[in-house]
Structure 1
Amino acid sequence: MEKNIFSIILNVGTVLVVAALAYGSYLNTTVAYSVGICVLIGLVVYAFRFLPAPKRRPRTDGSAAAGAPKSPAVSAAVIVVVVVGLMLLLPTIVLGIGAYSPELGAFVGAIGLMAMFLILWLRSRYQRSHEND
């Protein structure tokens, strides 16, 4: 990356954020656990870029179950309803688990929030593999 004002601001900002998180982690164990969870999620997201590209496969028209045509709108509506329902239940689940273990509650909450992005990422990979259909 060539040096310009934006790269300098990005580098300085990153150093300041890391220093603030390290200081906060030193003072409070809850902050340390939260920072650890964020770093773990960042490493997992970084590891996703090393996955192989999806293979391109043509679609077949006879793949619908029981001969009925699939409706993309119905499938999308079901997915949206399920995800929104789970997101509405997530705070209750996290608070229940957090009463037992705050660290486990934070971990479950982080995984629950990242699940939406995982669904969108998997959908984009699927669409990329079927671009020319």
Structure 2
Amino acid sequence: MACSFYTSNGKYWIDLRKNDRKKYREEKQKFVDDLIQQLEQKYPGISNDIEMVDFATPASVLRYTNNWQGSAQGWLPGKNVIASSPISFKLPNLKNFYYASHWNRPGGGVPVALNMARDVAKLICKENQVDFKVIKK
């Protein structure tokens, strides 16, 4: 089972880990204990089946990936958030450079990064008047 919770206060977790590791670990454990208690109410006996727990905070993400402000995905980008890609694939005045990452589109994560890479490949093909083809084996 995977449970995801979103926080708009990544700074809290990052600062807590930086300034008070003991309290940071205690806060993480309290969160896990509360979650298991709630799951136990909904699914009696589930706590007996839990083999492993991993609780990652924005501080964890920052530590493992150095991702900006500990974001597990991309923060909401740019002004035009309803565009197919609110952040451009290119940088001005930098020839032959294309940017594809989970920061290009809201939602982020690996699936978005892969989709962005595909979109950049299509753009490069279009700019070079080459048909984009998917090769299936």
Taking structure 2 as the reference length, the TM-score comes to 0.24
Taking structure 1 as the reference length, the TM-score comes to 0.24
Of Structure 1 and Structure 2, the greater helix share is in: 1
Higher relative contact order (CA 8 A, sep 6+): 1
